[in-house]
Structure 1
Amino acid sequence: MTVPHPERVGTPDAPVGPPARRASSWDGQGPVVAMVALGGALGATARYGTARLWPVESGGFPWTTFWVNVAGCAVIGVFMVVITDVWAAHPPGRPSSAPGCSAEFTTFSTYAVDIRGLLDEGHPATGFAYLAATLFAALTAVWLAVTVTRRALAGRRR
């Protein structure tokens, strides 16, 4: 016969009582969650501000979202080099700098909605051009930012 809760069985080695509390996966995560929230709020506010400053007319190429996504991808590339190659960021600083702030600044959900809207409004050429141009420009921005940042930082280390 097995004992349903062997850790509670009274023996000289293990007295009767509740098991020791296990650490929660949330223990110590408060500062990280707060930094992600702060970074996200800053990024989302910056994105909203750019959309208000440079609105795009219906059916036109969504230049504001395009440039926000390209700039955000470049920032992510710079941050990733700085965080991984140069600066040993304190764990709460990592989520706020790249995934928190930059992920909320970039707006790939709006990108998808823009494409769908262009297709639904009868502008398939603009929609597909936007689809391809954003993917190419965003990936190029990350690659260029990583390359330039590594070269710039390597020159300073010598």
Structure 2
Amino acid sequence: MGVSASHHRPLFARPSLLLLVVAGGAVGTAVRSTIEDRYPHAPGGWPWATFVINVTGSFLLGALVAWLARGGPDEGRRRQARLGLGTGVLGGFTTYSTFVVEADTLLRDGHVGIGLAYAATSVALGVAAAAGGFLLAGHLRRRTAAS
């Protein structure tokens, strides 16, 4: 049996996988937008909505990657989950561009302390959250496999 032509195409050129990313991205973006609209921040204030979104999204992405990686090779349902949930939903949910605009606005408007603290804390906690999610999900996956 031969391999279908679609398996030779790059992932981004496979319509079914592209649709997963687009649909997931729409869901993640809608959730983020709803949260940001519901919890706006005052000019010169800490952008809590974006901060919590990015740290939470980092944790969830780290957890997803670990869970899927410990489950086996990146193919079939694991690949679909990675693309639909990771790249799509969590990629649409988190927002580096809004974070940068908010940090830049704080700095330009003279809120240097808050702007620098926001930028540094967002990056540091984002990395820590991703690592924490990765470690926790990896641990849980090992425990589940051992049962």
Gap change, CA 1:141 and 1:34, over 3 Å in 2: same
Following superposition, the deviation at residue 26 of structure 1 comes to 8.2
Counterpart CA distance in 1 for 2:12 and 2:37 is: 39
Offset from partner CA, 1:15-39 (integer Å, 9 cap, x none): xxxxxxxx87689711011101001
Gap change, CA 1:106 and 1:126, over 3 Å in 2: same
What RMSD over aligned residues (CA atoms) do the two structures have, in Å?
Answer: 2.0
Which structure has more relative contact order (CA 8 Å, sep 6+)? It is: 2
After TM superposition, the structure 1 = structure 2 runs for residues 7-26 of structure 1, keeping only pairs within 5 Å, are none
After TM superposition, the structure 1 = structure 2 runs for residues 8-157 of structure 1, keeping only pairs within 5 Å, are 29-86=14-71, 90=76, 91-157=79-145
TM-score, scaled to structure 2? 0.85
DSSP-derived class of the 1:126 partner: helix
Counterpart CA distance in 1 for 2:99 and 2:52 is: 11
Runs of 5+ consecutive residues of structure 2 not aligned to the other structure: 1-7
Counterpart CA distance in 2 for 1:70 and 1:27 is: 27
| Structure 1 residue ranges, 4+ long, deviating more than 6 angstroms after superposition | none
Gap change, CA 1:94 and 1:124, over 3 Å in 2: same
Q: Flag the structure with larger Rg.
A: 1
Q: Is the 8 A contact 1:77 1:145 kept in 2?
A: yes
Gap change, CA 1:28 and 1:62, over 3 Å in 2: closer
Q: Is the 8 A contact 2:12 2:18 kept in 1?
A: no
Following superposition, the deviation at residue 93 of structure 1 comes to 3.4
